[in-house]
């Protein structure tokens, strides 16, 4: 028996699709959202289910609560649900760095869920593909440092940003007299159509953005590697779905691209897509809608680009 908080949002809707796609064994599902969505019906698991408000009573009637909403909503509801005996799977950043909350990517540190105290946190979307690649490689060859460059889709911001990219792209292509200066952005500080913004979440005093520091801190926690050196540059690009990353990894000992390919090919959840001479390499349009993280290893620069689908 499960409850989904944020069921009407972009991530919530994908979550409901995945439930049906995987035929998840649900005996009862409760869909929750803000007050303005109460009574709205969503199709899930072959039936239409009315949206309701999240309450302590509702939480006491389910086994798991999946929260895909804002950090404020998570901070308000997750402790309540846990107190009622439900196990909370939280998609926000609210609890990720709390020492008593496991931050889990199942293929990487699934055993950490055994230490949960009612709340289990999901890492940031740009962190997940990073640790999925690092984990199997670190088991073979210690990693000294990682430089990550991300190319993140607008879906990471939400449905409004996806629509803004669509609208701006149409405006610029349908009216030759328009320029970027004629557009009025809402989701971002600048137009996103035919543009790239090295600005995901607010900038901090150290010059990194909050998104970039999430990659640093969450990677260390998930991998139980507090000393690993990580530097990230996160860029929003005009792509609808799927984030991409270029990872530059320095190992303790020499390792060949061939070894990297073999190691990654054997790791669950990672698919090696790497034949550049035949124009085969990771791309967002191929990754969207898939579960695997696609990876490639370059002989020339020892890079491991990855592309992954991500909702938020």
| 243 labelled catalytic | yes
CA distance 293 to 309: 8
CB of 66 within 8 A of CB of 15? yes
CA 71 centroid distance within chain = 15
Measured between its terminal Cα atoms, the distance across the chain in Å is 24
CA distance 80 to 253: 48
CA 256 centroid distance within chain = 29
Per-residue H/E/C for 238-277:
CCCCCEEEEEEEEECCCCCHHHHHHHHHCCCCEEECCEHH
> Sheet harboring 2-5: ordered strands across?
41-44, 47-52, 29-32, 2-5, 64-67, 87-90, 119-121
CA distance 291 to 224: 25
Q: Which of 44, 234, 243, 310 is catalytic?
A: 243
φ/ψ of 232, rounded to 5, equals: -130, 145
| 180 labelled catalytic | no
CA distance 288 to 286: 6
Give the pair of three-digit tokens for residue 235.
């860029």
Q: Which of 32, 44, 125, 310 is catalytic?
A: 125
CA distance 167 to 183: 10
What angle in degrees, to the nearest 10, is found between the helix axes of 127-138 and 257-265?
110
Active site residues: 125, 243
């Amino acid at each position: 028996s499960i409850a989904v908080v944020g069921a009407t949002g972009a991530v919530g809707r994908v979550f409901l699709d995945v439930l049906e796609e995987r035929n998840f064994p649900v005996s009862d599902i409760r869909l929750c959202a803000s007050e303005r969505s109460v009574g709205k019906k969503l199709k899930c698991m072959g039936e239409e289910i009315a949206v309701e408000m999240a309450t302590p009573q509702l939480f006491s009637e389910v086994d798991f609560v999946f929260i895909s909403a804002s950090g404020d909503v998570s901070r308000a509801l997750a402790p309540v649900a846990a107190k009622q005996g439900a196990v909370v799977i939280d998609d926000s950043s609210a609890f990720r760095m709390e020492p008593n909350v496991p931050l889990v990517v199942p293929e990487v540190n699934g055993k950490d869920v055994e230490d949960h105290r009612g709340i289990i946190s999901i890492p940031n979307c740009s962190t997940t593909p990073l640790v999925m690649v690092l984990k199997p490689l670190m088991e073979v060859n210690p990693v000294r440092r990682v430089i990550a460059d991300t190319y993140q889709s607008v879906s990471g911001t939400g449905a409004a940003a996806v629509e803004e990219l669509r609208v701006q792209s149409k405006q610029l292509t349908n009216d030759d007299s328009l320029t970027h200066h004629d557009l009025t952005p809402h989701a971002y500080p600048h137009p996103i159509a035919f543009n790239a913004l090295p600005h995901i979440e607010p900038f901090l005093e150290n010059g990194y953005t909050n998104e970039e520091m999430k990659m640093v801190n969450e990677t260390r926690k998930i991998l139980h590697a507090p000393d690993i050196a990580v530097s990230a540059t996160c860029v929003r690009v005009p792509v609808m779905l799927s984030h991409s990353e270029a990872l530059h990894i320095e190992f303790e000992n020499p390792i060949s691209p061939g070894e990297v390919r073999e190691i990654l090919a054997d790791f669950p959840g990672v698919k090696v897509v790497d034949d550049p001479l035949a124009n085969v390499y990771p791309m967002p349009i191929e990754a969207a809608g898939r579960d695997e993280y696609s990876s490639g290893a370059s002989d020339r620069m020892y890079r491991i680009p990855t592309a992954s689908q991500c909702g938020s």
